[in-house]
Structure 1
Amino acid sequence: MELTDQVALITGGTAGIGLEAARLFVREGATVIISGRNAERGAAAVADIGDGPGSVRFVAADLADLQSVGALAEQAGPVDILVNNAAAFPVATTVDQSIAAFQQMFDTNVRGTFFLTAAVAPAMLAKGAGSIVNVTTMAASMGVPGASGYSATKAALASFTRTWAAEFSPSGVRVNSVAPGPTITEGVLVEWGDGVAELGKGLPLRRTAEPTEIAEAILFLASPRSSYVTGSTLAVDGGATAI
């Protein structure tokens, strides 16, 4: 078990990629904290993951609310692994993007992630070890119609990855990104519908991803197997960025 005695905080851990990452982390022996906005969904996720070599608990948090972000960091306590996975991604073309949805994306994906990391990182730095994994998207480095605001927030996370690696890695804290391609999750289907399947058909692998395929990449970057990897982005996108 690669994550025995490790404490991991996974935001957006009640569904999709975050839930599958939490499942893998528990399997590898980690003590996992998952966060999300809905307590009922959080309880269901904890029950779904169940018992394993590790354990899981839920903390309710809204990353768009900085007071909630601070409370999450306090309730989680010192962690060895932080997975910044929570995101808002309402789909709209640039000319149709509402101000409210635009604000929600930046408050959640950028501001919330930044200040959660700022709250959690000092304990890692003091310990001289830790791993931060940011979940971005293939749309952070390529144009996807309808994703202008969302892709901009994830490009910001990619920039955070590089800067945080430069700042934190001399103290032993690694920072990396996973950039997924189109992935079949409940949230994605609500926003994109059949559009996500169409995106998958245009990739070299000719399909969309399952959440667990992205979660495996997150586990790799969080684990000792990637001990000499920092400041990098692992594309798990079916070949999208290759073409």
Structure 2
Amino acid sequence: MTSVFITDADKPMGKAIAKRLQSEGYEVFTHPANGDAASLKEAIKTAGAIALLINNAEPVFERLVFEEIDEITFANMMNGVARMAFFAVQAVHPVMTKNGGGKIINIASSAPVRGMAGGAHFTAAKGSLYSFTRSWAQELAPDNIRVNLVAADVTTGTAAEDGGSETPLGRPVKIDDIVETVAFLAGEGGDMISGQEIIVDGGFTRVGF
């Protein structure tokens, strides 16, 4: 049985991904949103032979003019997204290498691509996942580890910007749309995909709707 480890698994996106992968026969291990880096590393160590890591960060997010973002708010956002993702990969890397490879999927947002007024701290944190994805895809490829990013945006029921009710494709993006993309990358169809950023937003970002 293939093992998957999902962070922030007690949030809507994390729960949906866990349910979908469980239905595919994965053994699912999870870590709560309020955990710290030390407990995360220990949880990954305890889980054993992890073949798939889902870095799903769904931070509490409030739009703030950048002058209103204090050090604690900024640090909490960066810790909850960038720091946790970084140390999750650091912990899982030797496990995947020992077992011949694996896959890492970072769940981000399109906000770092298009910008977000009142969300400088959010876009900075989520933007780090784009940089991590590009760097890790190169650095971990020799160990047969694929690293990709799925931008989950304009989505009802997540911490991402709950944008308009429409997209160029005529409907809002649903959690299931993101979940199916994650499931595809996790499966055999994603075996030759690495270093890619897939924005699931119905064309919202590129078309400028």
State the TM-score, normalized to the length of structure 2: 0.91
The question of whether the paired residues in 2 share the 8 Å contact of 1:78 and 1:120 is answered with no
Q: What is the rounded CA distance, in whole Å, between the counterparts of 1:178 and 1:128 in structure 2? A: 24
2:48 is matched with: 77
Q: Does 1:211 align with 2:175?
A: yes
Q: Does 1:164 align with 2:166?
A: no
User: What is the aligned counterpart of 1:138 among 105, 110, 113?
Assistant: 110
Evaluate the alpha carbon distance shift between residue 96 and residue 203 of structure 1 in structure 2; reply closer, same or farther with a 3 A threshold. Answer: farther
How many angstroms does 1:161 deviate by? 0.4
User: What is the aligned counterpart of 2:20 among 21, 24, 49?
Assistant: 24
Q: Does 1:36 align with 2:36?
A: no
Q: What is the rounded CA distance, in whole Å, between the counterparts of 2:170 and 2:195 in structure 1? A: 29
Structure 1, unmatched stretches of 5+, are 38-60
The question of whether the paired residues in 2 share the 8 Å contact of 1:87 and 1:105 is answered with no
2:71 is matched with: 99
1:56 is matched with: none
Evaluate the alpha carbon distance shift between residue 200 and residue 238 of structure 1 in structure 2; reply closer, same or farther with a 3 A threshold. Answer: farther
CA RMSD, Structure 1 to Structure 2 (Å): 1.8
The question of whether the paired residues in 1 share the 8 Å contact of 2:166 and 2:172 is answered with no
Structure 1 stretches of 4+ moved >3 Å: none
Q: What is the rounded CA distance, in whole Å, between the counterparts of 1:70 and 1:123 in structure 2? A: 11
The question of whether the paired residues in 1 share the 8 Å contact of 2:50 and 2:92 is answered with yes
Q: What is the number of residues matched between the two proteins?
A: 206
User: What is the aligned counterpart of 1:153 among 125, 145, 148?
Assistant: 125
Q: Write the letter of the residue equivalent to 1:34.
A: T
User: What is the aligned counterpart of 1:10 among 6, 12, 28?
Assistant: 6
1:238 is matched with: 202
Q: What SS does structure 2 have at the residue aligned with 1:200?
A: coil
2:184 is matched with: 220
Q: What is the rounded CA distance, in whole Å, between the counterparts of 1:23 and 1:210 in structure 2? A: 15
The question of whether the paired residues in 2 share the 8 Å contact of 1:90 and 1:101 is answered with no
1:40 is matched with: none
Percent of matched pairs sharing the same residue: 31
Evaluate the alpha carbon distance shift between residue 90 and residue 98 of structure 1 in structure 2; reply closer, same or farther with a 3 A threshold. Answer: farther
Structure 2, unmatched stretches of 5+, are none
Deviations 1:147-178 (A, max 9, x none): 21111111111110011110111221100000
2:150 is matched with: 178
How many angstroms does 1:118 deviate by? 0.3
Q: What is the rounded CA distance, in whole Å, between the counterparts of 2:83 and 2:52 in structure 1? A: 19
